[in-house]
Amino acid sequence: MDLPRRRLGRTGLMVTALGLGAMDTSQSPEGAATLRAALEAGINFIDTAREYAGSEFLIGQLVRELREPGGAGLDVPAHDFPAHVGSKTFSHTLDGSQRDVDRSLSVLGLEQITLYQLHDISTPAAYEEAMGANGALEGLQVARYRELIRSIGVSSHNLEVAEQLIRSGEFDTIMLEYSAFYPDSRPLIELAHGLDVGVIVMRPVGGSGRTSVMRGRLAAGDAGVLTPANLLRYVLAQPGVSVAIPGASYPSRIAENVATVARDEPMSESEQRALEDAAARLY
């Protein structure tokens, strides 16, 4: 199944519209199998962070296995890691962000990390610290100059701060929450798109609590329109979204999400409004 690809903003890279959010993957007994399933399905963007316990380590294990003779038995064309990895630092300082890049490189076993992001810049104070003199952004700029990272992004949970980050001109990508449960980011996605800032969508299917309720309803046959498949279609209906990164702990989730995104069925405006209404009524 071929996954559609989209431009990741100023990085100029083409990424599969479906990525993998690997925040919780390493906590699952099927985590390694889930990561392998993602790569075998052709997913070429994996999101991780220094802060996600064991996540970089899980990816690093596969990076190393792929270099062994036989390529870890993985059915992918190259013996080098076949996906772009995006990681993040929580540090707001020049030294701290550089140290985190060094640690990420060593844990991931990569010579260069495609995308390194400032993690959760969601308050004006965090913005000032990380973007000011001797701030974390400067550290990432040094790391980019040294070719330890290829591009620089940022994630935010605050709409006003996120707008400032997009307009700053400093970032190749921005990670935003966006879903039928949280449609408020749509104007920012359009703004970022217009400025060629790649948009990575976190929590695209509403997070683990909501998806667990949805799975119960699906099993009982009364999910209605509120399904993970429709939620992914909703996110990807925005042309400004480069990649959605649903979290997954099982290979079956990968298979289902890949099937949805490969079908590439556009979602009409009226379907989007109906999904937002259903999402608002979930609880």
Ligand X SMILES: NC(=O)c1ccc[n+]([C@@H]2O[C@H](COP(=O)([O-])OP(=O)(O)OC[C@H]3O[C@@H](n4cnc5c(N)ncnc54)[C@H](OP(=O)(O)O)[C@@H]3O)[C@@H](O)[C@H]2O)c1
- Residues making contact with ligand X (CB under 6 A): 21-24, 47, 119-120, 155, 175, 202-208, 211, 215, 228, 245-250, 253, 256-257
Complex with ligand X: residue 11 or 211, whichever CB lies closer:
211
User: Tokens at residue 252, please?
Assistant: 């079956």
Contacts of 16 (CB under 8 A, 6+ apart): 3, 4, 5, 42, 43, 44, 45, 243, 261
102: left (phi over 0), alpha (psi -120 to 50) or beta: alpha
Report CA Rg, the chain. 18
Complex with ligand X: residue 54 or 71, whichever CB lies closer:
54
Complex with ligand X: residue 63 or 261, whichever CB lies closer:
261
50: left (phi over 0), alpha (psi -120 to 50) or beta: alpha
Largest CA distance in the chain: 56
> How many CB atoms are closer than 10 A to CB 257?
25
Complex with ligand X: residue 145 or 283, whichever CB lies closer:
283
Complex with ligand X: residue 9 or 246, whichever CB lies closer:
246
CB of 86 to ligand X, least distance (A): 9
CB of 79 to ligand X, least distance (A): 26
CB of 182 to ligand X, least distance (A): 10
CB of 108 to ligand X, least distance (A): 15
Task: Tell me how far the alpha carbon of residue 245 is from its chain's centroid.
Answer: 4
Complex with ligand X: residue 208 or 268, whichever CB lies closer:
208
CB of 207 to ligand X, least distance (A): 4
Query: Please, are residues 59 and 35 in contact by the beta-carbon 8 Å criterion?
Result: yes
CB of 65 to ligand X, least distance (A): 22
